[in-house]
Amino acid sequence: MLYLILFLKLWSYAQTNHWCRIGMKTKLSNNKLRRQSLSAPNWNELLNATQEQTLEDEKNDHDALAGIVKYPDNLYLNDLFYFLLAPTLCYELNFPRTTRIRKRFVIKRLLEVIFGIHLILALFQQWMIPSVTNSVDTFSTMDVARITERLLKLAVPNHLLWLCFFYLSFHSFLNLMGELLQFADRKFYGDWWNANNINVFWSSWNMPVHMWAVRHVYKPVTSRGYSKGTAAVVVFFISAFFHEYLVSVPLQMFRIWAFLGMMAQPPLAVISRFAEIRFGPRWGNIIVWSSLILGQPLAIMMYYHDYALAHYTPQQ
């Protein structure tokens, strides 16, 4: 996960500075053409160019007084290190900053992080591991009734664990880092629990990743003339690849369950959108929650089954 976060951050850092470099070259080219026009005996063009240059100088002076950093003045290690620690995946030359660090806020978030880590470990060890272990034989025999029973039994602790992990990561930890770094942009998630379809859910539950995908994948694809639907499929394909990477590499075995789960989201988004329009927003929200409650434990059971078959021996 750390390698993936570092990759996404460096990709944003390089691409944003590339955009700035292109913009600076374009601006210099435009200024050059405007200065060349001053040599022509046209007093109207001379007057307009002089006024534009005066306004630009005033804007530059105002930006300097406001402490706004412009390219390439941002290309320093301190700026890069701050971005690597900041709770965002999208690089900006000038992040919104707070004026002070609230000590009580930091203490609250720190206590939440410590308590949340121990709570997740306790739930995982005492509730999830026994349920997952007992599901190996049912998958081996392909007993549909017992598989359904194990799936529903695992869905409860898995969903509770997932909610705890969400709160710990997106509220406690990211707000803690944002406060320590005086990072003012704290919109890490939206009201995903009220999502009426899958598209709304994926655009609101993980805002840092969503903004990165829109900025560095979705818009570049659509700017090349491709449709919005094609761009959305590309985003889900990249997300599916990264989800599989986060599971297969630690387990040291290649499976495609996480990949297939993510690639199933575009057709599921169509189904949930149809249900929202045809039967009302409540049914779309039911489909969203059903996919969360049942989809994740099913993937966990399949991965553990394959891992147990590949590594477990009777002698152990």
Rounded to 5°, angle at Cα 48 from 47 and 50: 65
- Token pair of 205, please? 């539950």
In DSSP terms, 183 is beta-bridged to 97
Among 122, 126, 146, which residue's Cα sits nearest to residue 136? 146
Among 171, 161, 155, 163, which residue's Cα sits nearest to residue 121? 161
**Alpha helices for the chain (secondary structure H):** 2-37, 43-66, 77-85, 103-123, 129-133, 136-141, 144-166, 174-180, 198-202, 207-213, 219-223, 228-251, 257-263, 265-279, 281-311
| Overall size of the chain counted in residues | 316
Question: Active-site residue 243, yes or no?
Answer: yes
Longest dimension (CA), the chain: 95
Can you tell me the distance from the alpha carbon of 39 to that of 31, in angstroms, rounded to the nearest whole number?
Answer: 14
Can you tell me the distance from the alpha carbon of 87 to that of 109, in angstroms, rounded to the nearest whole number?
Answer: 14
Catalytic one among 18, 159, 243, 311? 243
Can you tell me the distance from the alpha carbon of 6 to that of 3, in angstroms, rounded to the nearest whole number?
Answer: 5
Among 241, 229, 231, 240, which residue's Cα sits nearest to residue 273? 229
Indicate which residues carry an active-site annotation. Answer: 243
